[in-house]
Amino acid sequence: MKRFFTSIAFITALQMTLPNPTLLASESLIDLEFGAVDGISLKLDLHLPDNPKDAPLLVWIHGGAWRRGSKSSVPLKSMVDEKGWAIASVDYRLSPVAKFPAQVHDIKAAIRYLRGKGEEYGYKSENIAIAGASAGGHLAALVGVSNNVEELEGNIGDYLDQSSSVQATVSLYGASNLTTILKQSTPHGLRVRKPALDLFIGGQPEEVEETAKLASPVFHVDAEDPPLLMIHGDQDPQMPISQSHELHGKFKELGLTVHFEVIHGGAHGGPRFYDQNRTQQIDTFLRKRL
């Protein structure tokens, strides 16, 4: 009899350790589909703290010049365990697959989905923050300043009755004005940016000026925009720091809540943008606004 119960205990323990195809860890739900378009399944990963009830929600947007990258890259993921955040990392259609504004439509669909699923997963869904780095920083900023902009809303997903608005934004070394970015760029930046813009907006900014403006956060800033935190290195060879200065200036003109943190000697990303000091700064900024 003792051997029987020992066997049962072993089998139970083994079952508990077998990997679930969706739940990779106690806090991470992988490949949740929030929509589909043109035969493409749009997915996000949801990283939850040990006790997700009423956790604040941060939507993370990866970088990659709009043409590469994936939701698996989440440099702020330490905020789940250390700060108690729920973080949803979103995949969006990349520019070789679909041109702008597809990327923004996808992200806004993900936000609507996350609002609709708030009660099921336990996090707070009324007020949502968004953050991203590089191209993801640009997209996060654009989502942040385009609450209720019909052209950027899209109609993807099953939660069209939910709001896609966000209540706070963090942009790490992201673009803000595609009509000026090339004039501000280094030779290295131009080599990266010109082909990236061709794919993203369908041409160079002077060739598709109206699209370039629609894709530029500076042209959407108004008095209703949520608080913004920008973090940028002053030695960034790829994304001109002037891009953050421009958006900072627009927010200041309207008396909006904005903080611009310059990383002296900082390049295009790196550990200094995601260390404990920086995550504490991001956590403090967002918690005051959500």
Residue 176 pLDDT > 90, yes or no?
yes
What pLDDT score was predicted for residue 10? 37
Residue 259 pLDDT > 90, yes or no?
yes
Decide: pTM greater than 0.85: yes
Best mean pLDDT range from 6-15, 17-26, 58-67 = 58-67
Residue 21 pLDDT > 60, yes or no?
no
Average pLDDT over residues 23-50: 88
Residue 2 pLDDT > 90, yes or no?
no
In this structure, of 141-145, 146-150, 209-213, the range with the lowest mean pLDDT score is 146-150
Residue 7 pLDDT > 70, yes or no?
no
Residue 24 pLDDT > 60, yes or no?
no
Token pair 């939910």 is at which residue?
A: 162
Residue 16 pLDDT > 70, yes or no?
no
What pLDDT score was predicted for residue 189? 79
What pLDDT score was predicted for residue 148? 86
Q: Could you tell me the fold of the domain covering 22-287?
A: Rossmann fold (3.40.50)
What pLDDT score was predicted for residue 266? 96
